[in-house]
Amino acid sequence: MKNRTSFLPREGEAQPSRCPDNSAFKQQRLPAWKPQLTIASVLSSFFLTGAFCLTVGVCLVLSANSVREIQIDYSDKCSDCSKLRENSSNWNKECHCSVNFTLKEDILGDVFMYYGLQNFYQNHRRYVMSRSDAQLLGRNVNIQRSYCAPFSTYRNGTPMAPCGAIANSIFNDTIDLFYNHNSSVIQVPLLKTGNSWWTDKNVKFRNPESYNLSSAFAGTARPPYWQKPVYLLDEEDERNNGYVNDDFIIWMRVSAFATFRNLYRRVRRTRHFADGLPAGNYTFHIAYNFPVTRFKGRKHVILSTVVWSGGSNPFLGIAYLVSGTAATLTGFVITGIHLKLRKKKTYFQKQ
């Protein structure tokens, strides 16, 4: 074992210096700028910030209030179908229900149809991770090792396509809208494509390369809760089939809250609906497939317009109003404190 004194510098040897080099950077002599917090600059910052936030907040709240929206809850109105769907042995049985409602005023402009779910938690960590991005990009339909378990393969080894809990629990109610006009029933034309984000449709989701989709997914099986395989999601439009189906893509973007809505369809503006939805009596025809009773959930259909700031959500406007009010009140408080201290300083100077 070496002697501890062998590590000490010998007599006559210069000890290494631990001081930083004598440079402007290491000695912190570089030119710097710092704000001069005068009373004028501080008060102007608070009042300008408050005025800006209040102006934006008022614009956002007025914009959100101008959105026309109607929400129909069909959880109880389709109770018979709900009881049928609670029994998993009835997965292959169809069940339909109808919900009537009335529009008292015209809904002009572009009209969007959403489906809403309440008390459905998509933000659980294991649920969010239960997917395979490599599979959704079409690189490999047979995913053996991934976060999809237990929705990755069946007991006989057949892989699921798509795999994971998110895909397995997809919202699969079919909703059609009919307009009751002069004793005749007119089906409202709905657009089922063009509803997803461009990046999702063209970047994040891809079908496997093959001469047709059925051969691309050969050797795989649909998820347990699905009624048909992924290559039959839209048999009429090949560009909206498989992993690039709009309904599937929108569902795969999970929500952060237990109550949420997803875009389902857009009203096609033609003939009777060129200007939007006219006032009158309407009927939703629903093929009920998505049960919600076991987790005490609710289901809604929402018809809504949009404005430059989005849909009917005043939260952002209220947040701007609160921030603007807080900044303005803080400015007045600082002004009062400044005037009080200046008055006291003037008094002592006269003494």
Euclidean distance between CA atoms 82 and 272, whole angstroms: 34
Asked whether the predicted pLDDT for residue 4 surpasses 60, the reply is: no
Euclidean distance between CA atoms 139 and 148, whole angstroms: 16
Task: Report the range out of 186-190, 209-213, 220-224, 231-235 with the highest average pLDDT.
Answer: 186-190
In SS3 terms, 256-302 reads as CCCCEEEEEEEECCCHHHCCEECCEEEEEEEECCCCCCCCCCEEEEE
Euclidean distance between CA atoms 109 and 111, whole angstroms: 6
> Percentage of residues in the chain with pLDDT exceeding 90?
57
DSSP string, 126-141: HHHH---HHHHTTS-S
Burial pattern 250-260, b for ≥16 Cβ within 10 A else e, equals bbbeeeeeeeb
In contact, 49 and 325? CB cutoff 8 Å = no
- 66 vs 139: which has the higher pLDDT: 66
Euclidean distance between CA atoms 274 and 281, whole angstroms: 17
Q: What pLDDT is recorded for position 9? A: 58
Q: What is the mean pLDDT of the chain?
A: 88
**Tokens (6 digits) for 165:** 């809990």
Asked whether the predicted pLDDT for residue 347 surpasses 70, the reply is: no
Q: What pLDDT is recorded for position 119? A: 94
- Work out the number of other CB atoms within 10 angstroms of the CB of residue 158: 12
Tell me which residue of 67, 66, 62, 68 sits closest to 320, measured CA to CA: 62
> Any idea where the domains of the chain sit in the sequence?
69-308
Beta bridge partners of 266: 112, 191
**pLDDT per residue as tens digits for the range 144-177:** 667 888 898 888 888 898 999 999 999 999 999 9
**pLDDT per residue as tens digits for the range 278-308:** 999 999 999 999 989 888 899 999 999 998 8
Q: At what angle do helices 39-65 and 315-350 cross, to 10 degrees?
A: 160
Read off the pTM: 0.81
**pLDDT per residue as tens digits for the range 39-53:** 888 999 999 999 999
**pLDDT per residue as tens digits for the range 69-127:** 999 999 988 988 888 888 777 777 889 999 999 999 999 999 999 999 999 999 999 99
Q: Which residues contact 177 (CB under 8 A, 6 or more apart)?
A: 113, 187, 188, 190, 267, 282, 283, 284, 285
Euclidean distance between CA atoms 275 and 65, whole angstroms: 20
Q: Is 265 exposed, middle or buried (0-12, 13-18, 19+ CB in 10 A)?
A: buried
- Which amino acid, one-letter code, is at 218? A
Q: What pLDDT is recorded for position 192? A: 94
Q: What pLDDT is recorded for position 145? A: 66
Q: What pLDDT is recorded for position 344? A: 73
Rounded-to-5 percentages of helix, strand, coil across the chain:
35, 20, 45
**pLDDT per residue as tens digits for the range 237-290:** 889 999 999 999 999 999 999 999 999 999 999 988 999 999 999 999 999 999
Q: What pLDDT is recorded for position 216? A: 87
